[in-house]
Amino acid sequence: MPTALVTGASRGIGLVIARDLARTHHVVLHGRDEEALAAIAASLPSASVWVADLSGPEIVVPTTRTESGLDVLVHAAGVIGGVDIAGTSRDDWRRVFEVNVFAVAEITRQLLPALRAAQGTVVTINSGSGLTAGPNGGTYAASKFALRAFADSLREEERPNGVRVSSVHPGRVDTDMQHELVEKEGGVYRPELYLEPASVADAVRLVVDLPHGATVEMLSVRPTRRA
């Protein structure tokens, strides 16, 4: 059975992606809540858990299920943070970049031998904020622009090794993080204006299932309705 590792798999987009990939893969579920991850793993056909804080000083990726190759790596973990540029501290910038960029780079670095062995696929869950930036969201957008640059460079470096790299850029998604963002903005939450997490999982499935001779380099997914 092929193996997929999904970061941020205990809730939101990562959880829905992990559940979808579990139909065809053994899934390594990453998160910080061991109890929640264990319950999710027990509900899937074949799964194991990896508990780690991606903002910590050291990341050690498990190799038990990836020694013979890793078919899919999905970077779904992410955090929001910062306000306007004038009001965002250096520590806030560092916290957002630690999870959204630095952890992605380190996890990928450690897993590249396994990805090369399987000619696997790396999927970064980016954002519309990785394509355009506006006021009061510069910290998050900057991290997502950096993530897009990371994916673009990795894609070109790993072409000779048969590793595919895709950036998936969802618009706003109906998740806990979206609730936090709307509350921060002082708005009214209208779920009909947001993507369902399953739509993002479907986009990832498209990327993963595409015949290996082709790569979805960048995929932008937006809600049909707008305010």
For residue range 113-164, what is the model confidence (pLDDT) as tens digits? 999 999 999 999 999 999 999 999 999 999 999 999 999 999 999 999 999 9
Mean pLDDT of 199-204: 96
| HSE, side-chain direction, 13 A CA sphere, residue 6 | 31
pLDDT value for 194:
81
Please determine, for residue 188, whether its predicted confidence score (pLDDT) is greater than 90: no
Please determine, for residue 179, whether its predicted confidence score (pLDDT) is greater than 90: no
* Of residues 19, 110, 13, 95, the one with CA closest to residue 57: 95
194 touches 178 (CB < 8 A): yes
* Catalytic residue selected from 5, 50, 54, 140: 140
Residue 189 annotated in active site: no
pLDDT value for 174:
72
pLDDT value for 49:
97
pLDDT value for 197:
92
Cα–Cα dist 162/3, whole Å: 17
Mean pLDDT of 83-108: 97
* Of residues 6, 63, 59, 15, the one with CA closest to residue 39: 15
Please determine, for residue 180, whether its predicted confidence score (pLDDT) is greater than 90: no
Domain ranges of the chain: 3-221
Please determine, for residue 186, whether its predicted confidence score (pLDDT) is greater than 80: no
Mean pLDDT of 91-100: 97
Cα–Cα dist 52/120, whole Å: 23
Mean pLDDT of 213-217: 97
pLDDT value for 184:
67
Please give the model's pTM, rounded to 2 decimal places: 0.93
Mean pLDDT of 90-102: 97
pLDDT tens-digit series, residues 25-59:
999 999 999 999 999 999 999 999 999 999 988 99
pLDDT value for 112:
97
Range with the poorest average pLDDT among 84-93, 152-161, 173-182: 173-182
Cα–Cα dist 117/112, whole Å: 8
Question: Residue 185: pLDDT band by 50, 70, 90 thresholds?
Answer: low
Homologous superfamily assigned to 3-221: NAD(P)-binding Rossmann-like Domain (3.40.50.720)
Average confidence score pLDDT of the chain: 93
